[in-house]
Amino acid sequence: MSELRERAMARSYVIMGVSESWATEFINDAELHIEGYNMYRKDRKGARGGGLILYTKNNIRAGVNEEFSNEEFAESIWCNVELNKQRLLVGLCYRSPTSTDTNDEQLRSVIEKAVLRATTHHVLIMGEFNYPQIDYASENVAAKPTDQPTLFFDKTQEL
């Protein structure tokens, strides 16, 4: 946390996302707080690891988007942000490397719903997706057309 706080202060990021926070109900908000930021967190329930924290500068208007945060894909948090008179939907997602096909489909579904249903000017989706087979720089996927990495890559390109 001390390193994250130092980086936040040095760079003055407007939005920061942390995946795999490993935060639990036994860690209170004060321990994760960064001066000058609002914090939105979603801890993993019933298992170790995971967890998400989304930080926004406290001088911008932001709030949790319940519609997308309560979708079937459990490890995502979504916030509506107003920035320079523009509305932005920000999503932070974590996909475990051991994710099931069903969970992968739920991830693609929540991303698609967010992009297609958002009543905002822009959508920003960030996180940890754990698809090492995807090389976005070369737009190449080292997997079969029906494999999960290819399905995810194709969905992101489509949207």
Summarised one tens digit per residue, pLDDT across range 10-41 is 998 999 999 988 888 888 999 999 999 999 99
Its domain, for residue 91, covers: 2-128
Identify the pLDDT of residue 79. 96
3-state helix, strand, coil in the chain (%, to 5): 30, 30, 40
The band of 47, judged by pLDDT with boundaries at 50, 70 and 90, is: confident
CB 64 within 8 A of CB 77: yes
Output the pTM of the full model: 0.91
Q: What is the distance between the alpha carbons of residues 106 and 100, in angstroms, rounded to a whole number?
A: 10
Q: Give me the CATH number covering residue 8.
A: 3.60.10.10
- Confirm whether 63 is domain-assigned: yes
- Confirm whether 138 is domain-assigned: no
What is the number of domains present in the chain?
1
The pairs formed by 4-7 with CB atoms below 8 angstroms and a separation of 24 or more are: 4/34, 5/34, 5/35
CB 147 within 8 A of CB 101: no
